[in-house]
Amino acid sequence: MDAPDANPNAVQPPVAPPQSPAGRKYTLLLGVVLLLALGLRLPGLTQAPPGLNQDEATNAWNAWCLLKCGRDQAGAAWPIFYTHGLGGNRSTLYLYALLPFQLCGGLNVWTTRLPAAIGGVLTVLLLYWCAARLYDRPTALLAAALLTLSPWHIQLSRLGHEASLGPLLVGLSLAALLWAGFPLRDGGVRPVAWRALLAGLLVGVSCYGYPAVRLFLPPFLALCFLATWRAWSGLLRERRAAIALLALLVGVGVTFGPLAYQHIAHPEQIAKRADSLWLWDTADSPGQRVQKVAGRYLAHFGPGFLFLDGDHYEILSPRGFGVVQWYMLPLLLAGLVEMVRRVPQSAAARVGLCWLLAYPAGDCLHRHLLYAAADGTEHMSLHMLRSAPGLGALTLAGALGAVVVGRVLWRRWRAGAQAVMVLFGCATLILAGRFCVYFFGEHNRQPVVRQDFHADLVEACEWLRPRVADADAIFVTTRNVNMPYIVTLVTMRHDPRRWFDEPREMRTFDGFDYFFRVGKFHFLYDSSRLAALDGLLKNDKRDRVYFIVRPGESRLRDPIHTIYTPAGEPSLLVFTAEV
């Protein structure tokens, strides 16, 4: 890993200019890939997945409060380090990414997921740009195509969750360092001070995203530095290069420094609830803790997570699919072998290998508990969202492997090489098509998916929204829903100014905030909400009341609207009454 770099004065092979036939060919093909990436990420954004998850809704509501009132839902003015939601403290970068979309399109499911979809397409473009500078254009084009068809990335790009921007932030950081001229690639490029400063600022800002990014990015960049340390140390011998290195450190210090300080000085705030999610138990010895972390790290490279089951939480990983497709297996193996072969001579190969080694870093310290059985056994899984910052490493390695194998076949068996490539391409498209058919179809009809994305509650709230102004009270079920208050507020497009003024009732259990009342909305966690109904009965005026409840949950008859499951069974009933 610390072998000397290639000759720093060597000149890189010339890249075909955009006006050349080769340049036009790659530009055209990249355009086709980007259109396909857009087509798999943008259409049907509100239906695949259906409804709205409570984590997505929390991001949307906090951003809406910022846009309308300059405060998040907890009243903090323009928070930087974290925002409060669902009982925990969450990163803020996705909130600010949401603001321009909400400004133009309002508060709804589509604008909540739009930054993820657009960020996904930009990640495809960034991976192409980085791969073209680390390796070559064929590898870059294949990397972009593989990321476009990646089940992992397609799902990630359709969630209004802060984790969806993880691969984009990593790609931006790497691209900024390459653009600034730092020695992460082969050739004699030298850093430029003002670009280095911008790169440092961007790297630091990226760490304000999903916490898994700040667990992944520093180790990844540290490994890259160690793998190319001789070239970095050589920068100190040149005045301009040394100034650029100093500018990079200043940029990182200005942005990442305050965030690091918060983690050191106030971990109980910025990492609230993280202490309950450590992978190890408090009674574990240091050796046992290391063993658990190492075991979880290695599991990310196993066939179970990669090719068979992925994340066992079905809303994050459709049943029967890994996070990558089986066609990636030979490509990954070939790419890994090629990177190892090039390590002594190529800084780019070392960077690619470091990316692979660091890929699980965001998901090695905390557990992902699915459920606890009656006997006390905990059923855990690897976490697709926390592992996502390393997604580009697998894609880049697979693209490099495909190019290497293709060139070997072309040299040694030209007569059959084209047929093999066509067959492999067809197999790739068939497997990708199989995933897309399931993901955009049957997956969204699965009961667990519809429940965890509150598809029926979102549908009921959208139907009721035009009638809310005339309602004096709305009672909402809490059966088979998670934090219905936040999903209701977003789907009803509630006014944040009213949120800060109207009466609210909240109780905290096990570190989570449960809202029993927000203004006219009452959530039926227990019989205490019926007291509100009694109050309406005794106020000497006619009040219009709506109920969104499960079948059998109320004695009311003749619902005015019914929400059905895909199987045609009643899921939610909407009643109205005058009291």
Write out pLDDT tens, residues 175-209: 999 999 999 998 877 899 999 999 999 999 999 99
Round the average pLDDT of the chain to a whole number and report it: 90
Write out pLDDT tens, residues 127-173: 999 999 999 999 999 999 999 999 999 999 999 999 999 999 999 99
Cα 313 from Cα 387, distance rounded (Å) = 14
In the structure, what pLDDT confidence band is assigned to residue 538 with cuts at 50, 70 and 90? Answer: low
pLDDT of residue 242: 93
Average pLDDT on 294-313 reads: 93
Cα 80 from Cα 93, distance rounded (Å) = 8
Write out pLDDT tens, residues 551-577: 988 888 889 999 999 999 999 999 998
Q: Indicate whether 122 pLDDT > 60.
A: yes
Angle between helices 109-134 and 93-105 (to 10 degrees): 120
> How many Cβ atoms are within 10 Å of 11's Cβ, its own excluded?
8
- Cα dihedral sign for 171, 175, 176, 182? positive
pLDDT of residue 82: 94
Average pLDDT on 209-227 reads: 95
Residue 2 to residues 79, 186, 338, 339, 487: CA-CA distances in angstroms?
42, 15, 18, 14, 52
pLDDT of residue 540: 65
Is the separation of the CB atoms in 382 and 305 below 8 Å?
yes
Cα 284 from Cα 116, distance rounded (Å) = 38
In the structure, what pLDDT confidence band is assigned to residue 74 with cuts at 50, 70 and 90? Answer: very high
Cα 360 from Cα 362, distance rounded (Å) = 6
pLDDT of residue 369: 74
Q: Indicate whether 270 pLDDT > 70.
A: yes
Average pLDDT on 57-69 reads: 97
pLDDT of residue 208: 96
Q: Indicate whether 438 pLDDT > 70.
A: yes
Strand, coil or helix: what is 529?
A: helix
Q: Indicate whether 465 pLDDT > 50.
A: yes
- Cα dihedral sign for 318, 216, 174, 351? negative
Write out pLDDT tens, residues 346-403: 999 999 999 999 999 999 999 887 755 555 566 788 999 999 999 999 999 999 999 9
Is the separation of the CB atoms in 61 and 86 below 8 Å?
no
Strand-pair category, 504-509 with 570-578: unpaired
Q: What percent of the chain has pLDDT over 90?
A: 75
303 CB burial (10 A radius; 0-12, 13-18, 19+): exposed
- More confident position, 94 or 281: 94
Inter-residue long-range contacts of 554-559, CB under 8 Å, 24+ positions, other chains counted: none
DSSP character string of 192-251:
-HHHHHHHHHHHHHHTTSSHHHHHHHHHHHHHHHHHTHHHHHHHTTSHHHHHHHHHHHHH
Q: Where are the alpha helices (DSSP H) in 229-327?
A: 229-235, 239-265, 267-270, 286-299, 303
- More confident position, 378 or 513: 513
pLDDT of residue 148: 97
In the structure, what pLDDT confidence band is assigned to residue 12 with cuts at 50, 70 and 90? Answer: very low
Cα 150 from Cα 129, distance rounded (Å) = 18
Residue 466 to residues 311, 461, 463, 493, 578: CA-CA distances in angstroms?
39, 9, 7, 10, 18
Q: Indicate whether 534 pLDDT > 80.
A: no
Strand-pair category, 544-549 with 88-90: unpaired
Around 24, how many Cα atoms within 13 Å sit in the side-chain half-sphere?
3
Cα 71 from Cα 79, distance rounded (Å) = 8
pLDDT of residue 411: 87
pLDDT of residue 533: 67
Cα 209 from Cα 213, distance rounded (Å) = 6
Cα 387 from Cα 368, distance rounded (Å) = 12
Q: Indicate whether 493 pLDDT > 60.
A: yes
Which of 2-6, 257-261, 279-283, 449-453 shows the lowest mean pLDDT across its residues? 2-6
**R_g (Cα) of the chain, nearest Å:** 26
pLDDT of residue 528: 64
Which residues, including other chains, have CB under 8 Å from residue 181's CB and lie 6 or more apart? Answer: 189, 190, 191, 192, 195, 196, 244
Most confident of the following: 310-314, 348-352, 506-510: 348-352
Nearest to 310 by CA among 324, 327, 298: 324
Q: Indicate whether 9 pLDDT > 50.
A: no
Cα 391 from Cα 40, distance rounded (Å) = 18
Which residues, including other chains, have CB under 8 Å from residue 280's CB and lie 6 or more apart? Answer: 288, 289, 292, 293
Cα 126 from Cα 168, distance rounded (Å) = 8
pLDDT of residue 566: 94
In the structure, what pLDDT confidence band is assigned to residue 124 with cuts at 50, 70 and 90? Answer: very high
Cα 119 from Cα 153, distance rounded (Å) = 11
pLDDT of residue 198: 97
Q: Indicate whether 1 pLDDT > 50.
A: no
The alpha carbon of 263 is separated from its chain's Cα centroid by a whole number of angstroms, namely 22
The alpha carbon of 73 is separated from its chain's Cα centroid by a whole number of angstroms, namely 22
Q: Indicate whether 8 pLDDT > 50.
A: no
Q: Residue 564: which H helix or E strand, with range?
A: strand 561-564
pTM higher than 0.85 for the full model?
yes
Cα 297 from Cα 286, distance rounded (Å) = 16
Cα 131 from Cα 140, distance rounded (Å) = 5
Average pLDDT on 289-300 reads: 95
Cα 531 from Cα 517, distance rounded (Å) = 12
- Cα dihedral sign for 393, 92, 152, 297? positive
